A and B are shown apart, each in its own frame.
Chain A
Amino acid sequence: MIRVLLPAHLRTLAGVSGEVMLEVGGAVTQRSVLDALEAKYPMLCGTIREHGTMRRRAFLRFFACGEDLSHGAPEALLPEAVGKGVEPFLVIAAVAGG
């Protein structure tokens, strides 16, 4: 199982608390994880990746295993620890000042 941690406002939208657990068939990539996430929680479509272009929304980032994977290719393999469920795939919202 792949572990995904969403930012608070997306956990509210999806109606979940804590980490989300996903089954991902085949290669574990940014794209396959997000495809599986949106398939399980369709209310998240368009909120992490833009409709149409499927680009990462500018103020969200993808972290895992202490690395910023935001600019990685969508089809690049994620770290092995993510694929094995040892480490979560983190969707992080940019900090906002006040």
Chain B
Amino acid sequence: MGKPQRISLKEAAALINDGDLLTFSGFTIWRRPMALVYEMVRQQKKNLHLFEVNGGTHTEVLAGAGAIKIWESCWVGHELYGKLGEGVARAQVEGSMIVEDYSHAQVVARLIAGAYGLPFFPTALSMGTDILNPKFDMLGKAGMRDGSNPKIPLKKYDVIKDSLYDKGDILLMPAANPNWALIYASQVGDEGTVRVFSQCYVDSEAIKAADKVIVIAEEIVPDSYLRQEPEKNLAAGYAIDYVVELPWGAHPTGSQFFYDVDADFIREFYQASKSQDAYAKWADKWIFGVDSHEEYLEKLGINRLENLRANSVLGYSTSIKRGTR
């Protein structure tokens, strides 16, 4: 508890052990802690267990590197810039990754339970679907619901009859409490107060649910500035363990009011993600071919980054070409 510790990107990635259960900030291709994900690949993390409300480019970077053993989520892709999560799909079809599907609101329920210190959170959403088919409990099939891993619940879900208002059956979704929340945030105060701009996704729940939290901050600002408008803040400094200040740390995903999604970069990655060979070439260039985040930015070049820079009033870039007209 107390103030978070300022560390380097390499130190941050080194804290994560093979086999740890991770969750992330952001939403599909927005506000993902990409620089940290690249560094984890550089440090060759293995057997990671991901619990995430939805997947995105960061998931696919880890999947291509063969770093994921278990993926519990509901969706993976790159939105308009890559329609599938090719790495996860390939691993699921080959059987090299355990994929446990829930619905989006069900994974949110699991994170809410974890955030609020509850064993479960009820939901009536997505009942009557194959998500609940007992044959498709993949962690159960793998014999991993025997209680030996404290991060894996004894059941995929439970059902109870509402005994209070007699509304019928309702699902109970087990809490998720990851070892780590890996967060990218817009601003972090020098005492650790966290602020994100615009939609907050499930960033607050991810921070509260996790045992330990690393925040990649776009910028570190005086806490006194953030405390002038406390209603805009997401988390208190004592909830954060480590902070790394890293401008452009979410690239190629977008960060509202700082920079837009780098669509061309994600499209190129998506093409590479379709085969292991192409992924390896891509990773040689963008992950192993640079030793630091600064080298990565240098390789991207100032013109590319300036083009992505957000208009300070609108919150997104007005100079990128997005369509055909």
- Binding between chains A and B: no
Interface residues, chain B, with chain A CB atoms under 8 Å away: none
Interface residues, chain A, with chain B CB atoms under 8 Å away: none
